[in-house]
Amino acid sequence: MQSAIDTPLDIQKIRQDFPVLDQEVNGRPLVYFDNAATNQKPLPVIHALTRYYEGYNANIHRGIHHLAELATAAFEASRRAIQEFLNAKYWQEIIFTYGTTDGINLVAQSYGRRFLTEGDEIIISTMEHHSNIVPWQMLCEEKGCVLKVIPVDDNGELLLDEYEKLLSERTKLVACVHVSNSLGTINPVKTIIDKAHAVGALVLIDGAQASSHLDLDVQALDADFYVLSAHKLYGPTGMGVLYGKKEILDSMPPYRGGGEMIKEVTFAKTTYNDLPYKFEAGTPNIADVVAVKTALEYMANLGKENIATHEHDLLQYATEQLTTLDGLRIIGQAKEKIGVISFVMDGIHHQDIGVILDQQGIAVRTGHHCTMPLMQRFGIAGTTRASFAVYNTRDEVDRLIMGLRRVQKMML
């Protein structure tokens, strides 16, 4: 094994923060390479959840008793932390959702239904997750809008010249992934945003995969909407964020009705609450919102640049080692990537690869990764995907290579 790149991170010490890693699967030490689906949670995040439930579990905002005030303060502290994480201009621009998918649907159902009309055009890309395809298809069916798609080349990079050809005065919205969950491609979203704004279109960026790997600055990007999920930030599941420019969010109607999103209710008329609360109907996912602040602090303490350097080293090392295997082809070889590698092996179905690796304690993802149109673009049914996080090591990559050699020995 080649020596790893030097970083200030003590990976073995970091691994001790993730109790789920300290176990055997099928008699082998667990290797967890399914981080693009969800990454594992460090002890500080787990403890933040238990502290809430053990110490100040209460509903927020409307209560005046001590526990309600503690819970409200912790809940809103997370909003401020996310504002800082994204460099949003106003705290009111941070809307809590149940995940990236929920945020995209909020924009489609609120902004889309209010402002898009028949003949308006929406542009997405070939590499979108189904969550950034289906809501726009549903909107197009309802409103008579037209959906257009940016193609990708054989390396898994967007064809920007073709994107420019799709843009026109009829373009009202562009929805594009920041980083591909299937290929790891980092898209030039600043260029995409600027070109869309030049024709008067708004832009939504799906940041689910980017958020734990790249520095984010929504003001520098000039994004109109940015969505992400906490569970890919070493935080809990069931909690996400929609960032939107304040003036745009102010113009949008509520997505759901109920408690919290109101100022006054009579049987004759309801007056809606101010931002961000008009989009946060009902009792929210309080504990998980509280805990995401701890997840952001955990990442900040490690240093996002240090995490990215370590993951890039794993990506380079794994790419080098995978290319030594006969009959293995990496799908998606963009110049700019995060730590995600998808591949196919001649004569072996991806599900068989996943099963045999699992027998050796190695967790990878197999299938179409909720990007069926992208798989069709490459003429394949699916891939095997290995994706890395801060707690992964080169030794684990070596185990993956040995596991794949065993797959070939068994199947060919």
Give per-residue pLDDT as tens, 10-19. 999 999 999 9
Q: How many CA atoms lie within 13 A of 157 on its CB side?
A: 10
Report the pLDDT value the prediction gives residue 3, as an integer from 0 to 100.
56
Instruction: Check if the beta carbon of residue 256 is closer than 8 Å to that of residue 284.
Output: no
Report the pLDDT value the prediction gives residue 24, as an integer from 0 to 100.
96
CA distance 190 to 164: 14
Question: Token pair for residue 399?
Answer: 């185990």
Report the pLDDT value the prediction gives residue 264, as an integer from 0 to 100.
81
Q: Which of 176, 177, 175 has its CA nearest to residue 111?
A: 175
Q: Which long-range contacts (CB under 8 A, 24 or more apart) does 200-203 make?
A: 200/169, 200/171, 200/172, 201/123, 201/167, 201/171, 201/172, 201/173, 201/174, 202/111, 202/172, 202/173, 202/174, 202/248, 203/173, 203/174, 203/175, 203/176
The backbone torsions φ and ψ at residue 205, rounded to the nearest 5 degrees and listed phi first, read -110, 125
Partnered with residue 75 across adjacent β-strands are none
**DSSP H or E segment with residue 52:** helix 43-55
Cα–Cα–Cα angle for 230, 182, 324, rounded to 5 degrees: 125
* Catalytic residue list contains 370: yes
Per-residue pLDDT of the chain (412 residues; tens, 9 = 90+): 555 666 789 999 999 999 999 999 999 999 999 999 999 999 999 999 999 999 999 999 988 899 999 999 999 999 999 999 999 999 999 999 999 999 999 999 999 999 999 999 999 999 999 999 999 999 999 999 999 999 999 999 999 999 999 999 999 999 999 999 999 999 999 999 999 999 999 999 999 999 999 999 999 999 999 999 999 999 999 999 999 999 999 999 998 888 777 778 778 888 888 899 999 988 899 999 999 999 999 999 999 999 999 999 999 999 999 999 999 999 999 999 999 999 999 999 999 999 999 999 999 999 999 999 999 999 999 999 999 999 999 999 999 999 999 999 999 7
Tens of pLDDT, residue by residue over 328-340, are 999 999 999 999 9
What are the C-alpha distances in Å from 265 to residues 249, 270, 272, 280? 21, 4, 9, 16
Report the pLDDT value the prediction gives residue 268, as an integer from 0 to 100.
85
Rounded to two decimals, what is the model's pTM? 0.96
The backbone torsions φ and ψ at residue 96, rounded to the nearest 5 degrees and listed phi first, read -80, 135
Those residues whose C-beta lies under 8 Å from the C-beta of residue 234, and which sit 6 or more positions away, are 39, 40, 41, 42, 45, 212, 295, 298, 299, 389
Report the pLDDT value the prediction gives residue 2, as an integer from 0 to 100.
56
Report the pLDDT value the prediction gives residue 361, as an integer from 0 to 100.
97
Tens of pLDDT, residue by residue over 7-66, are 789 999 999 999 999 999 999 999 999 999 999 999 999 999 999 999 999 999 988 899
* Cis ω for the linkage preceding 276 (within 30 of 0): yes
Tens of pLDDT, residue by residue over 83-92, are 999 999 999 9
Among 140, 145, 176, 370, the one annotated catalytic: 370
Ordered alpha helix ranges (H), 95-156:
100-107, 113-115, 134-143
Report the pLDDT value the prediction gives residue 412, as an integer from 0 to 100.
76
Q: How many CA atoms lie within 13 A of 303 on its CB side?
A: 9
CA distance 98 to 94: 13
CA distance 103 to 82: 15
Q: What are the E-state strand segments in 208-290?
A: 225-229, 240-244, 262-265, 270-272
Q: For the chain, how are helix, strand and coil distributed in percent, rounded to 5?
A: 45, 20, 40
Report the pLDDT value the prediction gives residue 5, as an integer from 0 to 100.
66
Q: How many CA atoms lie within 13 A of 257 on its CB side?
A: 5
CA distance 72 to 360: 46
Report the pLDDT value the prediction gives residue 257, as an integer from 0 to 100.
83
Can you list the domains of the chain with their CATH numbers?
A: 11-41+304-411 (3.90.1150.10), 46-300 (3.40.640.10)
Cα–Cα–Cα angle for 125, 127, 386, rounded to 5 degrees: 160
**DSSP H or E segment with residue 330:** strand 328-331
Report the pLDDT value the prediction gives residue 1, as an integer from 0 to 100.
57
Report the pLDDT value the prediction gives residue 62, as an integer from 0 to 100.
80
